[in-house]
């Protein structure tokens, strides 16, 4: 089958159709072949036959956007089996078959029934087959072919990202790149010039230009000034068909803004300014503003202001408001119209951010002159001092003059001034003031010890204008006079040890005085001369505002007197001097050897009875032990007594104890201990009373029983051996105890029973070093030693 296409509507398509007919079979056709197959018998070789070509066709082309009234002819199918008698039937299947493409089943002509758009679908794949109309059997195998949609220039270029907004610095060089725009064309870029786009500028000349091929927008002038014009609207056109007549075009807008650079210095609108400031302006307040203009914006317009010269540099200061870029003029010192009526200042404004590329346009600063005129106002009275300090003695009579304040009207009128005190509370009214002279006097008797300082506020007003007030603080110091005698600094708890020696310092006291240091220290301590000499204690003035209490005799006894009283006198160093008397209470206490107090009045009762605390505790402990023994004895008596051996069935352990305590040396005289020391004098061998077995002694037992002059330790070992070897003992353990104090000491008795009757020259002072357990013993022997020495 062969394909024939006649859809050529232009010279180019006619040429393509001609090439298609002449050379399509060799270069562009899709060939379907059928193969003759021969069966081979066993042993025969395979023979290849050249297949016979059944049908051939080329690619079909159909123009897009066909708007004719009749279906567009696409091409023709023809089979070699077709003799023209109508026996061959052509069938078309695939994409668009039957809807977009229809075929004449007899002639094989293909038509397009709809207008196609290449931008939506570029080609269609279909299948063709020739069959026998009578038998419906295929005459050729099914073959595939393609129908391509031929492009026409039906799409204009489009800018997908427009409109554009872009910036470029002012004063840029000519040719500075601003932006690159790109337009797209949906037509086939491989066919003709339908998609070949060129760029041109429709609006924005002569400031900007565009590259026709790349679409890059550039500046076309030198030194474009933002201050002259800031915004530009540039229209760029893109046209296909390489810009030829008949091509389609699209356009977009590019909004270009020139950004600022610091190419303009600040400028003051005037070279001379004048400012009025009243003399009543407060120090630190803003009194005026000044501003220099800068055509730049943002940081390029930032500036600082300074005072460079003038007679008011010490009176005024200037600062910069960063938000408004204004210079704020402030007052550093108070103004006085009567002293100076005007000031002159030279003020300079300079940019803070400089661009050295434009330094040739500078300098980037400007100066102006400001004249300040001081205005006269009616001012309140002015005190001669910002504050006053006065002094007055305490106990001064009512009406005593403390001091005088002075205020004057600073204005030229020099009006009279009146004074008064602001009384905020009742306790403040210790003073009054003369309304005409400003003299302050006392209204009450002052006490420095109660209030040493007073703060009052004096107000001055003009007679002509009472509403103008001024205030001043007056501090009044109350001076001290010697009107308070000295006294002891505190209540002293003075203790004297029983074993004190004459001249021993037992305490140090000090005094205090409510008066000022000039009328207080130095203090003097002494005994009252009107009283007889104290035989027990005396006082020593240390001449450093302290005094020491000393003993006059040896040893004190709590049993005889436990409290002593010492009257003393104290005088101060004021003029005239004042003195006072006090009585010190001195307690007698028992002390350690190192002077630490052990006890005072708490043991008075025990000492009188001759018993110490340790002895009392020992007696109480013995009573408690005796009571416990009695209770235990009664409890045991009431208990049921059980036999030593209960029964043969009830076999268990029994422990029999005998808790007897000897009498020490007295037992050695009342009882013959020879039997204990000589085991041979005791019974040879004794058995249990409840069991008397018939046993014979072993030779070892006989040997042990005949030992003589043997120590009790050996005796105990012998009894232990007999108990271990006795076969008649009960089948449970028993405990046998033997008490033995040992042999007599060669050093003799250490008992203290007879020590009281023995005279000895031994020194017992070492007992005090043995610890608190031997305190009482050391104290007893210490007293004996003292009496013996006396």
Q: Is the pLDDT higher at 604 or at 278?
A: 278
Q: Indicate the helix (H) or strand (E) that contains 597.
A: strand 597-599
Q: Quick one: pLDDT at residue 655?
A: 53
Model confidence at 303: pLDDT above 70: yes
d(CA 466, CA 375): 22
DSSP 8-class letter at 120: T
Q: Quick one: pLDDT at residue 180?
A: 92
Q: Quick one: pLDDT at residue 510?
A: 94
- Mark 302-313 as b/e (b = at least 16 C-beta within 10 Å): bbbbbbeebebe
Task: Give the torsion sign (CA, 522, 528, 533, 538).
Answer: negative
Whether the bond between 522 and the residue before it is cis, its omega within 30 degrees of 0, is yes
d(CA 604, CA 613): 11
Q: Tokens representing 455? A: 């703060």
Residue 731: pLDDT band (50, 70, 90) is: low
Segment 541-545 shows an average pLDDT of 91
Cα–Cα nearest to 568, from 552, 547, 553: 547
Query: Per 3-state DSSP, what percentage of the chain is helix, strand, and coil (rounded to 5)?
Result: 15, 35, 50
Model confidence at 769: pLDDT above 80: no
d(CA 239, CA 244): 8
CA distances from 379 to 79, 288, 337, 410, 467 (A): 126, 21, 10, 7, 10
Report pTM.
0.43
Report the SS3 class of residue 653: coil
- Dihedral pair phi/psi, residue 704, rounded to 5°: -65, -35
687-718 pLDDT, tens digit per residue, is 444 444 444 445 544 544 444 445 667 777 77
Model confidence at 763: pLDDT above 80: no
Instruction: Please check whether residue 732 is in contact with residue 655, taking contact to mean a CB–CB distance below 8 angstroms.
Output: no
Q: Quick one: pLDDT at residue 594?
A: 79
Instruction: Please check whether residue 379 is in contact with residue 337, taking contact to mean a CB–CB distance below 8 angstroms.
Output: no
Q: Quick one: pLDDT at residue 525?
A: 92
- Dihedral pair phi/psi, residue 624, rounded to 5°: -65, -40
649-691 pLDDT, tens digit per residue, is 444 445 555 555 555 555 555 445 454 444 444 444 444 444 4
Average pLDDT value over all residues in the chain: 78
In terms of residues, how long is the chain?
A: 790
CA distances from 334 to 157, 518, 666 (A): 77, 44, 115
Q: Is the pLDDT higher at 688 or at 120?
A: 120
Q: What is the DSSP string of 410-476?
A: -STT---EEEEE---SGGGTTEEE-TTT-EEEESS---TTT-SEEEEEEEEEESS-TT-EEEEEEEE
d(CA 593, CA 770): 12
Q: Tokens representing 622? A: 């013995």
* Most confident segment among 51-65, 285-299, 566-580: 285-299
Model confidence at 727: pLDDT above 80: no
Cβ atoms within 10 Å of 332's Cβ, excluding its own = 12
Lowest pLDDT segment from 69-83, 195-209, 710-724: 710-724
Instruction: Please check whether residue 663 is in contact with residue 669, taking contact to mean a CB–CB distance below 8 angstroms.
Output: no
HEC readout, 504-557: CEEEEEEEECCCCCCCCCCCEEEECCCCCCCCCEEEEECCCCEEEEEECCCCCC
Q: Is the pLDDT higher at 78 or at 716?
A: 78
Instruction: Please check whether residue 702 is in contact with residue 722, taking contact to mean a CB–CB distance below 8 angstroms.
Output: no
d(CA 275, CA 369): 11
Q: Quick one: pLDDT at residue 704?
A: 45
Q: Quick one: pLDDT at residue 212?
A: 92
Q: Quick one: pLDDT at residue 383?
A: 93
Q: Quick one: pLDDT at residue 558?
A: 86
Q: H-type helices in 86-140, by residue range? A: none
Q: With pLDDT > 90 as the criterion, what percentage of the chain qualifies?
A: 37
430-474 pLDDT, tens digit per residue, is 899 999 999 999 999 999 888 999 999 999 998 888 888 999 999
377-419 pLDDT, tens digit per residue, is 888 899 999 999 999 999 999 999 999 999 998 877 788 999 9
d(CA 478, CA 452): 5
CA distances from 427 to 211, 395, 456, 592 (A): 96, 17, 11, 58
Segment 51-68 shows an average pLDDT of 64
Q: What is the DSSP string of 25-88?
A: HHHTPEEEEE-------TTPPP---PPEEEEEE--EEEETT---SSPEEEEEEE-TT--SSS-E
Q: At which residue do the structure tokens 């013995």 appear?
A: 622
333-374 pLDDT, tens digit per residue, is 999 888 899 999 999 999 998 888 888 887 899 999 999 999
Q: Tokens representing 109? A: 């002509």
Q: Tokens representing 629? A: 């023994």
501-538 pLDDT, tens digit per residue, is 899 999 999 999 888 877 778 899 999 888 888 899 99
């Amino acid at each position: 089958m062969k394909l024939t296409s006649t859809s050529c509507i232009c010279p180019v398509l006619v040429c393509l159709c001609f090439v298609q007919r002449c050379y399509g079979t060799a270069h562009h056709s899709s060939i379907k072949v059928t193969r003759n197959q021969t069966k081979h018998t066993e042993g025969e070789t395979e023979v290849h036959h050249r297949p016979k070509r059944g049908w051939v066709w080329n690619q079909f082309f159909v123009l897009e956007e066909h708007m004719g009234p009749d279906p567009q002819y696409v091409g023709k199918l023809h089979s070699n089996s077709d003799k023209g008698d109508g026996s061959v039937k052509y069938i078309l299947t695939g994409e668009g078959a039957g809807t977009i493409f229809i075929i004449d089943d007899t002639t094989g002509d293909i038509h397009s029934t709809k207008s196609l758009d290449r931008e939506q679908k570029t080609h269609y794949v279909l299948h063709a087959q020739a069959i026998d109309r009578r038998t419906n059997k295929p005459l050729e195998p099914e073959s595939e072919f393609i129908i391509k949609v031929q492009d026409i220039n039906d799409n204009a270029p489009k800018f997908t990202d427009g409109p554009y907004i872009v910036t470029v610095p002012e004063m840029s060089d000519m040719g500075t790149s601003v932006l690159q725009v790109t337009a797209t064309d949906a037509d086939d870029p491989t066919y003709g010039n339908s998609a070949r786009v060129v760029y041109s500028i429709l609006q924005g000349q002569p400031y900007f230009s565009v590259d026709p091929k790349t679409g890059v927008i550039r500046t076309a002038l030198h030194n474009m000034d933002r201050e002259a014009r800031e915004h530009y609207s540039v229209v760029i056109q893109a046209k296909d068909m390489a810009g030829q007549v008949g091509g389609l075009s699209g356009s977009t807008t590019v909004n270009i803004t020139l950004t600022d650079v610091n190419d303009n210095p600040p400028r003051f609108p005037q070279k001379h300014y004048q400012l009025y400031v009243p003399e009543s302006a407060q120090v630190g307040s803003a009194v005026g503003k000044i501003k220099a203009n800068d055509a730049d914006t943002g940081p390029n317009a930032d500036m600082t202001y300074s005072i460079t010269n003038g007679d008011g540099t010490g009176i005024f200061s200037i600062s910069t408001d960063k938000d408004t870029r204004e210079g704020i003029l402030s007052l550093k010192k108070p103004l006085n119209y009567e002293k100076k009526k005007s000031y002159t200042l030279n003020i300079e404004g300079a940019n803070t951010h400089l661009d050295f590329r434009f330094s040739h346009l500078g300098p980037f600063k400007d100066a102006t002159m400001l004249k300040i005129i001081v205005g006269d106002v009616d001012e309140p009275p002015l005190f001669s001092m910002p504050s006053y300090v006065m002094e007055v003695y305490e106990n001064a009579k009512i009406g005593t003059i403390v001091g005088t304040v002075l205020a004057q009207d600073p204005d030229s009128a020099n009006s009279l001034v009146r004074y008064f005190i602001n009384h905020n509370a009742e306790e403040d009214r210790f003073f009054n003031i003369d309304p005409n002279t400003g003299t302050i006097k006392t209204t009450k008797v002052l006490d420095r010890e109660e209030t040493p300082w007073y703060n009052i506020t004096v107000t001055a007003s003009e007679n002509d204008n009472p509403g103008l007030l001024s205030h001043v603080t007056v501090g009044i110091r109350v001076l001290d006079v010697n009107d308070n005698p000295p006294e002891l600094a505190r209540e002293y708890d003075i203790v004297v040890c029983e074993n004190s020696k004459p001249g021993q310092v037992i305490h140090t006291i000090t005094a205090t005085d409510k008066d000022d240091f000039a009328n207080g220290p130095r203090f003097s301590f002494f005994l009252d001369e009107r009283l007889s000499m104290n035989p027990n204690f005396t006082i020593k003035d240390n001449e450093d505002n302290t005094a020491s209490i000393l003993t006059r005799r040896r040893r004190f006894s709590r049993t005889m007197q436990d409290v002593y009283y010492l009257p003393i006198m104290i005088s101060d160093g004021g003029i005239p001097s004042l003195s006072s008397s006090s009585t010190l209470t001195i307690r007698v206490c028992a002390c350690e050897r190192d002077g630490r107090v052990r006890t005072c009045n708490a043991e008075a009762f025990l000492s009188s009875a001759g018993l110490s605390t340790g002895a009392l505790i020992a007696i109480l402990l013995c009573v408690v032990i005796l009571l416990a023994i009695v209770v235990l004895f009664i409890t045991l008596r009431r208990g049921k007594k059980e036999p030593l051996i209960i029964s043969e069935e009830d076999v268990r352990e029994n422990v029999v104890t005998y808790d007897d305590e000897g009498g020490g040396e007295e037992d050695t005289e009342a009882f013959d201990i020879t039997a204990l020391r000589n085991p041979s004098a005791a019974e040879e061998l004794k058995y249990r009373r409840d069991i008397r077995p018939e046993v014979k002694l072993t030779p070892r037992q006989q040997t042990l029983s005949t030992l003589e002059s043997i120590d009790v330790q050996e005796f105990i070992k012998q009894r232990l051996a007999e108990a271990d070897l006795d076969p008649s003992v009960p089948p449970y353990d028993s405990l046998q105890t033997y008490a033995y104090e040992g042999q007599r000491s060669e050093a003799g008795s250490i008992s203290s029973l007879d020590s009281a009757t023995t005279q000895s020259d031994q020194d017992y002072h070492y007992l005090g070093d043995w610890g608190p357990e031997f305190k009482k013993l050391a104290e007893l022997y210490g007293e004996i030693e003292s009496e013996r020495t006396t």
